[in-house]
Amino acid sequence: MTAARIVGESLERIPWESRPTGSSDVVWRYTGNPVIRRDQIPSSNSIFNSAVVPFRNEFRGVFRCDDRRRYMQLHAGRSDDGITWVIEDERIRFRAPDGVEPQEWQYGYDPRVCWIEDRYIVTWCNGYAGWPTIGVGYTEDFGIFYQVENAFLPFNRNGVLFPRRIRDRYVMLSRPSDPGHTPFGEIFVSESPDLSHWGRHRLVMRPAYGWQATKIGAGPIPIETTEGWLLFYHGVLTSCNGFVYSMGAALLDLDRPEKVIARADTYLLHPRELYEQVGDVPNVVFPCAALTDASTGRIAIYYGAADTVTGLAFCHVDEVLQFIRDHNG
């Protein structure tokens, strides 16, 4: 069988650290974790669940920074190497594309960012009428950000765009929810001709036994491979002490992403390190962004740890896809 490949561009400067000697883990952590501390800017209580992309010869991102009032905010950041980050202390203030004042800012969290056609599209959990839904915006330079219409009615979370049109439609994964700390959740996919009007909602995956028994939600922007869309996602188990968040992976059909080709029943990353187990919300590994190098098949994954700091992990695409096939439940 021909080795699976990432469809996309090379990223020679991808942040990277080799797998530890003697380790057989398919995904391994950066030894310098956390790469972003909770107090990295003067206003922050915590910085986690954030989005990172290549930008020219460096890296840019949109970061969830809960401030010291515990208000959920979005901040822009930049890095030369994808490891050492400078994050703006002032939150992003979205503009309206038509010059009219944008919607009133209530809160924003768990952003994702991807390049589609001619701009970077930002999605996030947006406070609208006091409830969570999926906000949509864009930027060309990570200096000025514009906000367009919300994608869905409340209640919804984990809005994750595919990085290109599929059958001439924009496509987004999401997790319909409720106004609280949702004790349920499935991944759905929706389509739009213009990023404003969304329909053709289809179920993709439901929770399953074990580490993902309570709820699931899409993680980083899906990665196009020669075998399908590689989706990293979070799964949640309800223990006697509360929720436990882990990272898993599935493979979706390239033309019909509601079709699951294979899905691993075993997690890839689970809260084991102290910074993942102890924090504002204990026992959380929440993947939210991934950088890929098509020339080597390397993937760097950014994840929120204990809803407090940001960690980095690494893997090879062919090993992840083989893991999904070997553990397809």
Q: What does the pLDDT look like over 36-50, one tens digit per residue? A: 999 999 999 999 999
Domain ranges of the chain: 28-326
Cα–Cα distance, 180 to 187 (Å, whole number): 18
The pLDDT tens digits for 7-17 are 999 999 999 99
For residue 100, the model assigns a pLDDT of 73
For residue 98, the model assigns a pLDDT of 82
Does the pTM surpass 0.75? The reply is: yes
Q: What is the mean pLDDT of the chain?
A: 97
Confidence of residue 1 (pLDDT cuts 50, 70, 90): low
Question: CATH number of the domain at 28-326, out of 3.40.50.300, 3.40.980.10, 2.40.240.20, 2.115.10.20?
Answer: 2.115.10.20
For residue 329, the model assigns a pLDDT of 86
In the predicted structure, residue 141 carries a pLDDT above the cut 60: yes
Q: Find the range with the poorest average confidence among 58-67, 75-84, 95-104.
A: 95-104
Show Cβ contacts of residue 167 under 8 Å, excluding neighbours closer than 6 positions.
Answer: 255
The pLDDT tens digits for 253-305 are 999 999 999 999 999 999 999 999 999 999 999 999 999 999 999 999 999 99
The values of phi and psi at residue 12, to 5°, are: -60, -30
Per-residue tokens: 281: 């919300």
DSSP string, 253-304: -SS-TTSEEEEBSS-SB-S-SHHHHSSSSSSBEEEEEEEEETTTTEEEEEEE
First to last CA, the chain: 22
Total Cβ atoms within 10 A of residue 277: 15
